[in-house]
């Protein structure tokens, strides 16, 4: 989703990436849509790219909200994986996602 936000430019109205590797921070200026980013606290691989990405978005004045869900793994929202799924984090992320879309797509 982060890469889509870069590629889509002003053709995207809002985006919500869930724990995916982020683009190079140098591409932050290409993002036009507000983003809500959900990351898993235990996902060091994704967070290595995500933290600089969020910092670059903010430095570029882009509308971004970032949530880090402590104590959960990558794919915490995937209820088909009992090993990774975290019901509380997934429900909170979904609630935030719906509110974000309601705010930006209404």
Q: Tell the burial category of 28 from Cβ atoms under 10 Å away from its Cβ (0-12, 13-18, 19+).
A: buried
Task: Return the structure tokens found at 8.
Answer: 């889509």
Q: Shortest CA distance to 2 belongs to which of 33, 45, 40, 41? A: 33
43 is catalytic: yes
70 is catalytic: no
Lookup result for tokens 């053709």: 11
Catalytic residue among 38, 39, 43, 77: 43
Give the bridge partners for 35, in sequence order: 15, 64
Catalytic residue among 74, 77, 79, 104: 74
Q: How many Cβ atoms from other residues are within 10 Å of residue 74's Cβ?
A: 19
By annotation, the residues acting in catalysis are 43, 74
């Amino acid at each position: 989703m982060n890469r889509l936000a870069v590629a889509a430019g002003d053709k995207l109205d809002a985006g919500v990436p869930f724990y995916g590797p982020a683009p190079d921070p140098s591409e932050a200026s290409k993002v036009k849509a507000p983003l809500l980013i959900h990351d898993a606290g235990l996902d060091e691989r994704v967070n290595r790219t995500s933290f600089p990405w969020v910092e670059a978005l903010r430095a570029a004045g882009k509308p971004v909200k970032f949530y880090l869900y402590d104590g959960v793994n990558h794919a915490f929202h995937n209820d088909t994986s009992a090993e990774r799924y975290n019901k509380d984090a997934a429900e909170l992320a979904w609630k935030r996602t719906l509110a974000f879309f309601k705010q930006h797509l209404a």
